[in-house]
């Protein structure tokens, strides 16, 4: 018989009841001291003293692109695989075998192949990855309506209040989900289970690949203490440098700090850091976030420094972004331009506009102005990584249009003239 726990809320009847340990393969309840499943012999157990009460999960597909390719070509199962392409591109994804050689996402391809010359290199097939991602997403939505996608291969899920529906605690529901995804879709996922988003995201990285980890707020404080302040999401290099300059090198330094003092130094960001350092995160899982950004990018086969050539490419990207906005009946307020120099340093520039737009002409005009300021003789190399390619995009709130969308009008030689209402 497995150990069970009832967790009470102030004065109320027990609301959480379930095992503290169970088998991920057969879902049988176990004593928390068990090392193997007494029913099926599996060593893959989940154990945590607060397990019945944890209901917020982060699910992340393991090396998603590479795993899909290995699924579709079993000959690659025990081989290092790199998703990318071109001698001057970057790695979009790397399987776990490739990672043992030091290959990482966003690494220039020439470096990746120098580290792992015998790797199988496969060009990305985004249409296929989107199809598989949707299959996983639909399986998530069968568990709870509160699914918040973060990307094609990861999402937050809130399973609070679903125990009666599923007849088991959220932890078991997630273990069953992971097993079914592996069986039915042919890829693996890692699950992080906690009481909030911040800790669930950390937990999903603790036992990859094919992992399942639970983490509560009490134990998180000790685990976070020796991590650098940059471990906290949203703390980039510039913010980290500011924190270090003021004596905050590790999360333990933030934990020892006074909340009011941090707010004096860093305003609202100080309060956010103080709370996250203690594992406190009140963000809710939002099911329908909608697209925050719509972008398009390209890969250059040779280094380019000619402004006219880049300008023509930028216009094509602006048209594609505009088309996607119109097809979704959306518009945006912030236009972003991303470039990479020949030494693979990324430049990102953004500019907000006064009114939401979906017009290619407006997107192009603003991004062209930013491009002109950046072209100073540095050549722009190709870049194949989904987050770091040269791209033009638009971001902002969703703005629905009551009037018909605007369309392009061209002169006889194919050059853009102006946009007019249909």
- Surface-to-core class of residue 358, CB atoms within 10 Å of its CB (0-12 exposed, 13-18 middle, 19+ buried): buried
Count of all residues that appear for the chain in the document: 422
List 69, 148, 154, 297, catalytic entry: 154
Q: Where are the alpha helices (DSSP H) in 86-125?
A: 96-99, 109-115
- Round to whole Å and give the CA distance between 369 and 414: 22
HSE, CB side, 13 Å, CA atoms: give it for residue 340. Answer: 26
HSE, CB side, 13 Å, CA atoms: give it for residue 295. Answer: 21
- Round to whole Å and give the CA distance between 37 and 260: 49
> Which pair of structure tokens corresponds to residue 360?
């290619």
Which residue from 249, 215, 222, 252 is spatially nearest to 235, judged by alpha carbons? 249
Residue 297 annotated in active site:
no
- Round to whole Å and give the CA distance between 291 and 325: 10
Handedness of CA 39, 44, 47, 53 (dihedral sign): negative
> Which pair of structure tokens corresponds to residue 372?
């002109």
- Round to whole Å and give the CA distance between 418 and 409: 6
Catalytic residues: 154
């Amino acid at each position: 018989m497995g150990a069970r726990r009832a967790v009470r809320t102030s004065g109320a009847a027990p609301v959480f009841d379930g095992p503290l340990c169970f088998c991920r393969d057969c879902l049988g309840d176990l004593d928390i001291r068990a090392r193997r499943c007494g029913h099926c012999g599996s060593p893959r157990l989940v154990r945590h003293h607060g397990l019945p009460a944890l209901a917020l999960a982060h699910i992340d597909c393991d090396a998603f692109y590479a795993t899909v390719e290995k699924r579709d070509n079993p000959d690659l199962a025990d081989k290092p695989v790199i998703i990318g392409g071109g001698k001057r591109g970057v790695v979009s994804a790397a399987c776990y075998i490739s990672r043992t050689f030091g290959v990482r996402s966003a690494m220039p391809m020439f470096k990746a192949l120098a580290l792992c010359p015998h790797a199988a290199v496969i060009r990305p097939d985004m249409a296929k990855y989107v199809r598989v991602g949707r299959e996983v997403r639909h399986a998530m939505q069968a568990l709870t309506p509160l699914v918040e996608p973060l990307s094609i291969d990861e999402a937050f899920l809130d399973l609070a209040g679903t125990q009666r529906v599923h007849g088991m605690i959220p932890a078991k529901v997630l273990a069953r989900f992971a097993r079914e995804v592996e069986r039915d879709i042919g890829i693996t996922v890692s699950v992080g289970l906690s009481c909030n988003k911040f800790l669930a995201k950390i937990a999903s990285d603790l036992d990859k690949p094919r992992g399942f980890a639970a983490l509560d707020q009490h134990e998180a404080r000790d685990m976070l203490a020796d991590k650098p302040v940059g471990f906290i999401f949203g703390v980039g290099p510039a913010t980290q440098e500011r924190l270090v300059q003021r004596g905050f090198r590790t999360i333990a330094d933030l934990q020892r700090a006074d909340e009011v003092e941090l707010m004096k130094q860093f305003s609202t960001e100080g309060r956010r850091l103080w709370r996250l350092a203690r594992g406190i995160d009140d963000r809710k899982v939002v099911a329908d976030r909608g697209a925050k950004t719509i972008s398009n990018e390209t890969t250059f086969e040779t280094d380019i420094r000619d402004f006219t050539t880049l300008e023509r490419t930028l216009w094509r990207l602006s048209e594609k972004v505009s088309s996607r906005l119109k097809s979704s009946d959306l518009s945006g307020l912030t236009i972003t331009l991303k470039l990479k120099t020949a030494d693979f340093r990324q430049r990102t520039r953004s500019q907000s506009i006064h009114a939401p737009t979906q017009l290619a002409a407006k997107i192009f005009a603003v991004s062209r102005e930013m491009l002109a300021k950046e072209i100073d003789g540095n050549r722009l190399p190709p870049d194949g990584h989904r987050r770091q390619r040269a791209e033009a995009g638009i971001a902002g709130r969703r703005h629905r249009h009551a009037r018909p969308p605007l369309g392009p009008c061209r002169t006889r030689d194919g050059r853009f003239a102006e946009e007019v209402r249909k």
